[in-house]
Amino acid sequence: MRYSEMFLPTGREIPSDAELISHQLMIRAGMIRKLTGGIYSYLPFGYRAIRKVEQIIREEMDRAGAQEVFLPMVQPAELWQESGRWVHYGKELLRFRDRHEREYCLGPTHEEVITDLVRHEIKTYRQLPRNLYQIQTKFRDEIRPRFGVMRCREFGMKDAYSFDADEAGAEISYQKMFEAYKRIFTRCGLNFRPVEADSGAIGGSFSHEFMVIADSGEDAIVFCGACHYAANLEKAEVAKPDQPENTDPPLPIEEIHTPGVKTIEEVCAFLRVKPGEVVKTLIFSADGVAVAVLIRGDQEVNEVKVKNHLGCESLELAPDDLILAATGSPRGFAGAVGIKTRIIADYSLLGMTRCIMGANREDYHLRHVKPGRDFQVEAHADLRVIRETDPCPRCGGAIHLARSIEVGHVFKLGTKYSKAMKALYLDATGREQTMIMGCYGIGIGRTVAAAIEANHDSDGIVWPLPLAPYQVIITPVNVNEKSLSETANRIYDTLKDKGVEVILDDRDERAGVKFKDADLIGIPLRITVGPKKLAEGKVEIMSRRSKEVIDLPIDAVEAFVLSKISEGM
Ligand SMILES: [Zn+2]
């Protein structure tokens, strides 16, 4: 493509509302433009990157035996009522009515639609397994869309759904998708890790997230240096500690006046103790009912673990009135002794024989509290956030924390949707059985943004070759000089004939401007046609990633470019 004819509005200014580097660069490189909050248009340069990701996904999904469909974006409320999610999905589900007052939503995901399709068409075990996928626009009404296409409301997604006759088959389907995802993200040139994850709002029993490692990532992951264990921070298990031998003799409980002392730091400073000697009592509202969660003062509660342990639909820190009802005191002085709620405790309390905690009385704390003597715990469980100093829950090795961006997610759904929506089949003995499902998503725009987040420098994007909208840019330093222009055109024609995706920067601009744009849009190879080298029959080729420059005779350019492309650069 000739640059002069391209719709490629690049810019030097950093957009004021763009925090993330990928967001800034996608705007500056003329890839996207915001239409309204969380809703973006892709311009030609950006859309080419999208199409590259889609193509890789299609090839790998097809290779794994999945078949492409295209499902409607507008979905009737009845299906969501059947699955139970019309109520539970919350405000992210954009609902509306048509002219006949019938209720609909814009699909944030397609479990209901695909289950409805399959239950009408698949009747016997002979028609199973099946895996159907689509690349479709989704809408999720995020409360605070941000980071450009990374967390937006309207976005492209590949979603696949597998249907199996039994658990063993479902496991095979899951593994096939797991392997396909590894191939997809490897082919995209991304540094990624599959991690164990919580199943969240989609539901189901087991899931992995595919995370691109990037310092700016919204998600924290944990991985082991010694074994393959890797998990999302919210999912990462903390091994149950060996019960420590505690030799501190128990002492009688004592109430102490602690005026204005609320936080762990304040308690420690006031009483001259370490956080590990204090027990935090957090009051949660679990589906509206107060529950006390105890944890040692030097640890953090993991709310996902608490929610999973309680098996509740909603969990939030209790409002003031609930705290007052449970403890008889205002926020900040809760303790387990005499509290009127269920009490669950993190493993970190095991073995504690004396601790300091709130007295359920304003401006008072208790010391020498002995769990089991002074209060009863309903259950001890793993309820805390893992830390870098904790051992790997699988092998005991050292673990590491890293920031990352989720680009894909695979779920074992089990029978959550097939049971609710009666997706049944007849087995070999003629008995009716429920299909076992899995679902598998990849955020397309997010994958592109994550690739930029992990591949850029101070000059702009550094595309991994497989996602690069174009592979080569040819820059004649002065288009008004006939010999330069002719040579550049000749190389352009030759490369185009060979199927290379190439831009000819034929703009009448200073060389510096062209170089800046080429760096910004991140084309992997730049061929510079300048007078000095041309006099020797040569051109300069620069790698965008290494900035390494070599001189090549014009005749050798084609072979060089083709070999670089075939080796993936
Ligand atoms: Zn390990």
Residue in 349, 354, 348 with CA at minimum distance from that of residue 366: 354
Total Cβ atoms within 10 A of residue 494: 16
CA distance 298 to 328: 26
Tell me, rounded to whole angstroms, the distance of Cα 324 from its chain centroid.
Answer: 38
How far, in Å, is the centroid of ligand 1 from the Cα of 224?
A: 5
**pLDDT score for 327:** 93
The answer to whether 539 and 526 have CB atoms below 8 angstroms apart is no
How far, in Å, is the centroid of ligand 1 from the Cα of 230?
A: 8
Residue 94 scores a pLDDT above 60:
yes
Task: For the domain made up of 254-381, give the CATH fold.
Answer: YbaK protein (3.90.960)
How far, in Å, is the centroid of ligand 1 from the Cα of 226?
A: 5
How far, in Å, is the centroid of ligand 1 from the Cα of 217?
A: 23
Could you give the 3-state DSSP secondary structure of residue 260? coil
Question: Of 183-197, 241-255, 449-463, which range is least confident?
Answer: 241-255
- Mean pLDDT, residues 250-276 taken together: 93
Which value, in Å, is the radius of gyration of the alpha carbons in the chain? 29
Would you list the DSSP string of 186-240? Answer: HHTT--EEEEE---GGG--SEEEEEEEE-TT-SEEEEEESSSS-EEETTT---PP
> Domain coordinates of the chain in residue numbers?
9-237+401-452, 254-381, 470-566
Q: Sign (positive/negative) of CA torsion 29, 57, 436, 81?
A: positive
Helices (H), 475-528: 482-497, 511-521
**pLDDT score for 200:** 59
The answer to whether 459 and 39 have CB atoms below 8 angstroms apart is no
How far, in Å, is the centroid of ligand 1 from the Cα of 228?
A: 6
How far, in Å, is the centroid of ligand 1 from the Cα of 232?
A: 14
Residue in 345, 363, 374, 340 with CA at minimum distance from that of residue 253: 374
How far, in Å, is the centroid of ligand 1 from the Cα of 49?
A: 36
How far, in Å, is the centroid of ligand 1 from the Cα of 399?
A: 7
Give 97-124 pLDDT, tens digit per residue.
999 999 999 999 999 999 999 999 999 9
How far, in Å, is the centroid of ligand 1 from the Cα of 198?
A: 19
* Average pLDDT score over the chain: 94
Angle at 183 between CA 179 and CA 187, to 5 degrees: 170
CA distance 190 to 464: 8
Residue 245 scores a pLDDT above 90:
no
In sequence order, the β-bridge partners of residue 75 are 105
Would you list the DSSP string of 231-254? Answer: EETTT---PPPPPP---PPP---E
How far, in Å, is the centroid of ligand 1 from the Cα of 306?
A: 24
How far, in Å, is the centroid of ligand 1 from the Cα of 301?
A: 22
**pLDDT score for 16:** 87
Q: HSE-up of 411 (CA within 13 Å, CB side)?
A: 24
Total Cβ atoms within 10 A of residue 126: 10
The answer to whether 280 and 295 have CB atoms below 8 angstroms apart is yes
How far, in Å, is the centroid of ligand 1 from the Cα of 212?
A: 20
Residues 6+ apart with CB under 8 A from 1: 470, 502, 503, 504
- Mean pLDDT, residues 196-209 taken together: 71
**Top-tier CATH class for 470-566:** alpha beta
**Burial letters for 161-196: b for 16+ Cβ neighbours within 10 Å, e otherwise?**
bbbbbeeebbeebbebbbebbeebbebbbbbbbbbb
How far, in Å, is the centroid of ligand 1 from the Cα of 233?
A: 15
Instruction: Please report, as a single letter, which amino acid is at residue 269.
Output: A
How far, in Å, is the centroid of ligand 1 from the Cα of 191?
A: 20
CA distance 47 to 37: 20
Could you give the 3-state DSSP secondary structure of residue 355? strand
> Angle, nearest 10°, between helix axes 482-497 and 557-566?
40
Task: For the domain made up of 9-237+401-452, give the CATH fold.
Answer: BirA Bifunctional Protein; domain 2 (3.30.930)
**pLDDT band at 199; cut points 50, 70, 90:** low
How far, in Å, is the centroid of ligand 1 from the Cα of 209?
A: 18
How far, in Å, is the centroid of ligand 1 from the Cα of 322?
A: 41
**pLDDT band at 17; cut points 50, 70, 90:** confident
How far, in Å, is the centroid of ligand 1 from the Cα of 406?
A: 22
**pLDDT score for 205:** 60
How far, in Å, is the centroid of ligand 1 from the Cα of 401?
A: 13
Residues 6+ apart with CB under 8 A from 430: none
How far, in Å, is the centroid of ligand 1 from the Cα of 400?
A: 10
- Provide the residue count of the chain: 569
Tell me which DSSP letter residue 536 carries. T
CA distance 45 to 51: 10
The answer to whether 346 and 241 have CB atoms below 8 angstroms apart is no
How far, in Å, is the centroid of ligand 1 from the Cα of 180?
A: 24
- Mean pLDDT, residues 314-330 taken together: 93
- Mean pLDDT, residues 304-330 taken together: 93
Strands 502-504 vs 525-529: parallel, antiparallel or unpaired: unpaired
How far, in Å, is the centroid of ligand 1 from the Cα of 48?
A: 40
